[in-house]
Structure 1
Amino acid sequence: MNCNIVSPLTILLVDDSDFKIEKVKLYFSEVTPNSKVEVARDQISAQKQLLSEKYDLLILDMHIPFRHGETEPQEDGGVLLLEELEIGEGYIQPNRIVVFTQFEQLQENIREKYPELGAIFYDLTSDSWKHTLLRAIVSLSKSKKISNKIVYCEGDNVTYYNSIGIKGIEFWALKDSRAVYFAAKNEKDKFALRDRDFLTSNEISILTNLPYHENYFILEYYCFENYLYHPDNISEVIIGFKKDEYIAELINQKNSKIDSIIQDYKLARLGYTDFTDNDRATMDNNPEDEIILSLKSDSFETFYKFFDMAGKKDKGFKKSFNRHYLEKFNLDKELLAKTTWFNEKISTLLNKILIV
């Protein structure tokens, strides 16, 4: 199946079978690779997630335990969860629920009691369940495409961008900034968002407006991680976070790496498709006027736009942020991507889409 016609979905899979979980997740990676699949292994975990998250699709195995590792799976465990969703308060109802069962009689019972749900008989020896599930996937995908605007972004960040939950927008992953650039150029009905890297403010202004690409957006900071690990964002997650100490650490790291950053930035810019595709008409003749002066500054918001916070483990690690300082806080990327600060920053950047 052509994955491009299937819009990414947010999915909650409720099942305690490792084998089945892997099979279902593998299937989603094939038909809609940008989708986000979360797993709950028991009724209690599923209820907690449905109290805090909005899902496009809930896939519910009927034979689940009340609490994983403490109670045995119940043949009607899934039914109990459905009943809780009906009568309980505060649950965020998924757009669609599909039930999995290995018991044919239970499948019939579900169809009679919950005719609005999809009841799929799961047979370990057959792939017939995939065809039924695919219909639900395509149906949900089509409904999302009607209302949502598509924003292409770079690589693995798609999961975190989509976790923000910006109404009316869904993010699709592409390999790198080159692919994102050409998506903006060739697909005018969609939008594209790339990392800033070493682009100057003047270059960003030119590239994101006519006569170039009004559907093209560029981050304010060097990369996605610069938003996640911004001190204001971390402060929203960790009460009492010592911002001044953290900024001092960033300044120290930046100053210790500045020579290698300056040596490499011109080489990095030579590979930007944004320039070469336009005969370098969009390229500043003297980028160092902003980039080097910004990096040499100890004013946080000035240098932070060009200091790589990705913390790469490859050869680029020498000129990027070493996140060892943050390890003691045990920060979770997904949690950092769900803050009000992060939401407002990305929403403001994409405001042109939201008001259309």
Structure 2
Amino acid sequence: MKILIVEDDEDKRRQVSEFLKELAPDAVLQEARSMQSGLSAILKGGQDLLILDMTMPTFDITAEEDGGRPQAYAGRELLRHMKRRGIRTPAIVLTQFDRFGEGLDLLTLEQLDTALRAAHAGHYLGAVFYSVTDESWKAHLEKLIRSQVPAEG
């Protein structure tokens, strides 16, 4: 199984990677750190599962690049790009925020999850709330992954 993790936060990406290595030791993990590098990796294809952050910079942050404008709905944009191109790789949103956007554009994680399920039925598996202090995200993520991966044996 090849899993792409699109996540800009170094600590969160490391925690998620370590958990996935425990859960699926034979999995090949690929990482992207922004909306654009995530889109590039998705378009190259070959992944069996996508773990998408929701809020991230437009571009990878480097010594020369500040990442561009932060994207409150970057994960949703990646799912939209996938839909337009007919890419149906199973995807899970893993976020440490419970609210996104501002003003009229504000959505709770629950509202966003409902909207994504409607817009991307069949390949959007669900949203997981990530917390540094509460590891319940691991059980939720595992449940969503196992809902998509056939049991071995």
Task: State the TM bucket, normalised to the shorter chain.
Answer: 0.7 to 0.9
- Structure 1 residue corresponding to 2:36, chosen from 44, 50, 71: 44
Q: Which has the higher contact order (CA 8 A, sep 6+)?
A: 2
Taking structure 2 as the reference length, the TM-score comes to 0.78
Please provide the CA RMSD for this pair: 1.9
2:6 touches 2:33 (CA, 8 Å); kept in 1? yes
- Structure 1 residue corresponding to 2:147, chosen from 110, 127, 139: 139
| Greater share of helix | 1
- Structure 2 residue corresponding to 1:55, chosen from 47, 62, 65: 47
Mind listing any 5+ residue stretches in structure 2 that lack a counterpart?
A: 62-66, 100-107
The match for 2:115 is 113
| Greater share of strand | 2
Letter of the 2:79 partner, please give it: L
2:94 touches 2:127 (CA, 8 Å); kept in 1? yes
Larger Cα-atom Rg = 1
Measured against aligned partners, the alpha-carbon deviations of 1:235-256 in whole angstroms (never above 9, x if no partner) come to xxxxxxxxxxxxxxxxxxxxxx
Count of paired positions: 134
- Structure 2 residue corresponding to 1:10, chosen from 2, 8, 22: 2
Equivalent positions of 1:1-356 (< 5 A) are 9-69=1-61, 70-87=67-84, 89=85, 92-94=87-89, 96-105=90-99, 106-115=108-117, 116=121, 117=124, 118-142=126-150, 145=152
Structure 2 CA distance, aligned partners of 1:139 and 1:62? 21
1:137 is displaced (CA, Å) by 2.5
Structure 2 CA distance, aligned partners of 1:46 and 1:61? 10
Q: Percent identity?
A: 31
2:3 touches 2:28 (CA, 8 Å); kept in 1? yes
Taking structure 1 as the reference length, the TM-score comes to 0.35
Measured against aligned partners, the alpha-carbon deviations of 1:180-227 in whole angstroms (never above 9, x if no partner) come to xxxxxxxxx8xxxxxxxxxxxxxxxxxxxxxxxxxxxxxxxxxxxxxx
1:136 is displaced (CA, Å) by 2.2
1:72 is displaced (CA, Å) by 4.3
